[in-house]
Amino acid sequence: MIMTNKDSLSLLCIGNSFSDDAVDYLFPILKDHGVKELHIGNLYIGGCSLERHYKNIKENIPDYSYRVYRYDGLDDHPDYTLEKALLERKWDVLTLQQYSGHSGCPDTYGDLVPIIEYLRGKCPNPDFRLLWQMTWAYQADSDHWDFPLYGNDQKKMLQAIIDTVKEKVLPTKQFAGIIPSGIAVQNLRGSRLGDTLTRDGFHMSFDVGRFLVSLTWAYTLYGYFPISEIKTAALPEKVKANLDIIEEAAKKAIEYRF
C-alpha cells in the first residue's frame, strides 16, 4: 500500500504505450474504491526508453502525448515536454518504466539514476512517491522484433525482467514500490483464459488485459480490496465473465515478494 488515505490522488505516469495500457481502467476503479479527488496523467511516447526520456529531459523536447483522465472523460494534449507536465501539479505519485523490449536488459538502465535525480529536483511536491512498473513478457507466439533478445521464450523474458528489477531498480532505494504488472499478467495466463491477454502479441487487450493491469496498479496504490466494490455494468462482457480470476491474479501479484 502506497497511499494511506483516499481524500485525493494526483498520479503522473512517465512512460510509453505500456503505461497507456496500464491506466486505461484505473480512474473508474479508484473512483469506485472511494478516492474522492482524482487526477491521472499519462505522459508517453510509443516505445519510449529510459534513454529517450533522459534525452528529452536534457533537451526539453516536446515529443510527448499527454493524456489526462478526468471525471468527465479524458483530454489528449500533443507536443508536451516532460518538464511542463511535471510542473503542472504537486504530484503525489510518479511512475517510471523501461521500454518493454529492453525491460529485461540491465545494460539499458544507465539513465535511470539521472532521471530520478531530475524528478527529485524538479517535482513541485518534494515528498512524492516514486513507483516502478515491472512490465510483462510478450505472448508466447509474439512476433515483436525484440522477442529474440529472450530467445522468443516468454518465461525467459519474464525472469529477465524480474532479475533486472532486482539488479537495477531496487538498489537505487528510490522507489516506494514496484507495480508487478508482469506478475499479474503471467498469473492470469495460467488460468482458463490462457495466453490470450494481448491484442497484438505484446500490448494488452482492450478488455481483460488492460483491466487486469489497472487493477494491479490500484492494489499497489491502496492495497487489496474486493472487486465487488467496482461497478461492473459498463465493463466489457469478457471482463465481467472473468472477474473472479482477474481479481485473484492481481491479488497474488501484490502478495509476490522479490
Tens digit of each residue's pLDDT (9 = 90 or more) over 99-158:
999 999 999 999 999 999 999 999 999 999 999 999 999 999 999 999 999 999 999 999
**Per-residue pLDDT, 164:** 98
Closest CA to 31 of 245, 224, 218: 218
Cβ–Cβ under 8 Å, residues 227 and 216:
no
pLDDT tens, residue by residue, 184-224: 999 999 999 999 999 999 999 999 999 999 999 999 999 99
Average pLDDT, the chain: 97
Share of residues in the chain with pLDDT > 70 (%): 100
- Residue environment code for 26-43, b if the CB has 16+ CB neighbours within 10 A, otherwise e: bbbbbebeebeebbbbbb
In this prediction the pTM is 0.97
The three cell numbers of residue 45 are 511516447
Please report the beta strands in the chain, taking only residues with DSSP state E, as ranges in sequence order: 8-15, 37-44, 64-70, 73-80, 93-96, 129-133, 177-179
Give the Cα separation of 250 and 242 in Å (integer): 12
Give the Cα separation of 210 and 84 in Å (integer): 27
Question: Does 69 have pLDDT greater than 90?
Answer: yes
Give the Cα separation of 229 and 134 in Å (integer): 26
The rounded Cα 216 to chain-centroid distance in angstroms is 9
In the structure, what pLDDT confidence band is assigned to residue 70 with cuts at 50, 70 and 90? confident
In the structure, what pLDDT confidence band is assigned to residue 235 with cuts at 50, 70 and 90? very high
Cα atoms in the 13 Å half-sphere on the side-chain side of 84: 16
**Per-residue pLDDT, 170:** 98
